């Protein structure tokens, strides 16, 4: 009986390893590579996180003043759309919601003064014909930030 328990345990462990999603090398496996915008530098190297459908990722990001930023999120095609919200941390006031812009995945913003912003990300995974989605399935999400200082002409 002990032998069967060990075999069952090893089988369960093997199954969990085979079917879980590892996000470490996600950008090299799918089309989530960073597309660098002209004159922009990497502000935050890509962060890869596993998230369930309708779960919320929350990032607290400090944006330096007198800079433009590009926020880019991506995941496997079958988990789109991704909902992105920018919130004021003190008041919780919504500054941006990509649901109003057709769930765009890349957002350009600029700040005159240094600001702390809350970034909320939700995988909506609405049916889009890109594959069957299981209710408890998880996906890798990639977040990257690029920045460039305002040019002297903009000041």
Per-residue pLDDT tens over the stretch 104-120: 989 999 999 999 999 99
Tell me which of 87 and 131 has the higher pLDDT.
87
Identify the pLDDT of residue 93.
97
Q: What is the mean pLDDT of residues 124-148?
A: 78
Rounded to whole angstroms, the Cα distance separating 79 from 136 reads: 12
Give yes or no for residue 67 having a pLDDT over 90: yes
What are the residues facing 111 on neighbouring strands? 67
Q: Is 47 helix (H, G, I), strand (E, B) or coil?
A: strand
Q: Which residue has the tokens 């962060």?
A: 47
The CATH number corresponding to 23-154 among 1.10.150.110, 2.60.40.3120, 3.30.70.20, 2.60.120.380 equals: 2.60.120.380
Domain boundaries, the chain: 23-154
Higher pLDDT, 58 or 36: 58
């Amino acid at each position: 009986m002990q032998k069967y328990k060990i075999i069952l345990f090893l089988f369960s462990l093997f199954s969990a390893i085979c079917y879980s999603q590892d996000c470490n090398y996600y950008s090299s496996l799918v089309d989530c590579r960073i597309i660098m915008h002209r004159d922009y530098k990497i502000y935050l190297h890509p962060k890869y996180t596993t998230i369930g459908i309708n779960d919320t990722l929350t990032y607290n990001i400090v944006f330096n003043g007198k800079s433009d930023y590009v926020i880019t999120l991506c995941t496997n095609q079958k988990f789109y759309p991704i909902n992105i919200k920018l919130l004021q941390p003190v008041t919780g006031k919504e500054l941006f919601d990509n649901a109003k812009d057709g769930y765009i995945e890349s957002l350009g913003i600029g700040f005159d003064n240094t600001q702390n912003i809350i970034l909320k990300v939700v995988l909506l995974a609405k049916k889009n014909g890109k594959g069957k989605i299981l209710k408890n399935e998880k996906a890798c999400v990639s977040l990257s930030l690029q920045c460039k200082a305002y040019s002297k002409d903009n000041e």
